Amino acid sequence: MEFLQKLQISTHNEGISTGSKWLAGHGVVINSYSPVDGALIAAVSTANKEDYDQVVTKAQEAFEQWRLWPAPKRGEVVRQIGQALRAYKEELGKLVSYEMGKSLQEGMGEVQEMIDICDFAVGLSRQLHGLTMHSERPGHRMYEQYHPLGVVGIITAFNFPVAVWSWNSMLAWICGDVCVWKPSEKTPLCAIACQHIITSIFEANGVPEGVSCLVSGGREVGEWISKDERIPLVSATGSTRMGKAVAVNVAQRLGRSLLELGGNNAIIVTKNADLQIAVPAAVFGAVGTAGQRCTTTRRLIIHEEIFDVFTNKLLHAYQQLKIGNPLNPENHVGPLIDKDAVQQYLHAIEECKNQGGVFLTDTGVLDGEAYSSGCYVKPCIAKVAHHYPIVHKETFAPILYLIPYKTLEEAITIQNSVPQGLSSAIMTTDLREAELFLSHAGSDCGIANVNIGTSGAEIGGAFGGEKETGGGRESGSDAWKNYMRRQTNTINYTNQLPLAQGIKFDIS
């Protein structure tokens, strides 16, 4: 395919890079198969421990130089990366769609998120502010400033194979850090394409080799990163199970971890909801990326007075969904990432049925020539009780659970009853209902929306969640502080040295 050639993706690719230099990997070879048609796209060489150590050493060397660049100069490099991403938006968006399986519109949208975070980071490069304060001692000045942290390890998941890396790397770079990226072994080509795109920008600006490093591989690479004392911050996106393992490894060496883990997101639909808004928000939130977003809508908590009306409208909308090749912009839903994901989908459906759930739509795997990869499934809806164990689990698939409620307080309790705490939403035209949902007694999630769905986030706001979602914050607001170390400074500009609590110490 032409877009693969433009992104310098061949039938065999090295998956280890320190920037312009691509290293021969001595690990296993990963084959990347497209869930769209089951075709083998390309093979990728991965790292062994010696390869990994070589990359981190180069990153350490690069940090010694990169941290001395003025932040606005680093921002200028990121600005040029944003321009390059604009030029490659179509090609990279198609690769994301083809290798991961999300719709072409979503693939393009993911690249746009990368462009947006570049723009955000450029402005931020001139605003890495500290804080001044008054000292209790005369003739003293106190302030706080932020310094670059060092090597940042970035572990990303398959469902957003490029955007989440950019959320971390663009901010880390303008802060003066260097990055070592371990992409998902299910989408290695997207990472390789990104590295190719930025290489020419780095070379043209004399950026030190090692500021952007790529280490492809399996679970072992993530373990090396999480246990590596040379890496002060590990940003990991993925399952809660994976995040807990990373958190333990990083904590044992007293490092920092930034975790973006699972979600089990709900929309509360009150009897005062505008259904013209609520229905499309629920549908897009539930079936976008074939239910493989951490912000996917997995539960609809619907007031009992409108439960049947809303459900009928939802079912009508589901009948209009087009499932198929995501590179065809007319299709709404693409495939799951692989056949393991399909089995998880089927297993969750059986669990739901066994626990008492009633499915209101067909379920199962689609067959036929158009679905030859075996990864296309039917988005489905089930009426459940909120105490069913399956409802409290995150299944990365387009399964939507409907739960009736009587009072808003009950609905909020139901929403907050799951272990995860990423995204949430309420659909209402009642100001009091909206404000209660956003109050201390409301949603316990990191994201709480009114009259928009749970999926999607603007880069200007910090993204992340609570409880088993990990507590991390990426992207906008003051998330940049994660990538820097804070230092308090006190300057005495007198010829006296006042000691604490009036202690006298005479050396004359």
Q: Quote the pLDDT of residue 49.
A: 98
pTM over 0.85: yes
Residues in the chain: 508
β-sheet with 484-492: strand ranges across: 131-134, 140-148, 484-492
Q: Residue range 273-280: average pLDDT?
A: 98
The two three-digit tokens of residue 31, written as one number: 């084959």
The two three-digit tokens of residue 91, written as one number: 């090609």
- Which is it for strands 380-383 and 40-45: parallel, antiparallel or unpaired? unpaired
User: Do 32 and 189 touch, CB atoms closer than 8 A?
Assistant: yes
Cβ-count burial 494-508 (b if 16+ within 10 Å, e if not): eeeeeeeeeeeeeee
| Mean pLDDT over each residue of the chain, to the nearest integer | 97
Q: Residue range 216-238: average pLDDT?
A: 98
- pLDDT of residue 503 exceeding 80, the answer is no
Domain 2-261+470-488 sits in CATH at: 3.40.605.10
User: Do 472 and 152 touch, CB atoms closer than 8 A?
Assistant: no
- At 321, the pLDDT band (50, 70, 90 cuts) reads very high
- pLDDT of residue 498 exceeding 90, the answer is no
* Amino acid in the structure at residue 404: P
Boundaries of every domain in the chain: 2-261+470-488, 265-459
Domains 2-261+470-488 and 265-459 share a fold: no
- pLDDT of residue 456 exceeding 90, the answer is no
Beta bridge partners of 235: 154, 258
Q: Which of 14, 113, 209, 260 is flagged as catalytic? A: 260
Task: Give yes or no: 468 in active site.
Answer: no
Q: Quote the pLDDT of residue 435.
A: 98
Q: Quote the pLDDT of residue 56.
A: 98
DSSP letter assigned to residue 151: E
Q: How far apart are CA 450 and CA 403, in angstroms?
A: 19
DSSP letter assigned to residue 208: P
Secondary-structure class of domain 265-459 per CATH: alpha beta
- pLDDT of residue 506 exceeding 80, the answer is no
Q: Is 342 exposed, middle or buried (0-12, 13-18, 19+ CB in 10 A)?
A: buried
Q: Quote the pLDDT of residue 221.
A: 98
- At 437, the pLDDT band (50, 70, 90 cuts) reads very high
- At 508, the pLDDT band (50, 70, 90 cuts) reads low
Rg of the chain taking only CA atoms, in angstroms: 25
User: In degrees, to the nearest 5, what angle opens at C-alpha 291 toward C-alphas 288 and 297?
Assistant: 85
**Of 273, 363, 365, 345, nearest to 313 (Cα)?**
273
Beta bridge partners of 44: 13, 30
Maximum alpha-carbon separation in the chain: 94
Q: Quote the pLDDT of residue 501.
A: 73
Q: Quote the pLDDT of residue 500.
A: 72
- pLDDT of residue 226 exceeding 70, the answer is yes
Beta bridge partners of 421: 466
Q: Residue range 1-27: average pLDDT?
A: 95
Tokens 């007293």, residue located: 254
Q: How far apart are CA 16 and CA 14, in angstroms?
A: 6
* pLDDT tens per residue, range 76-119: 999 999 999 999 999 999 999 999 999 999 999 999 999 999 99
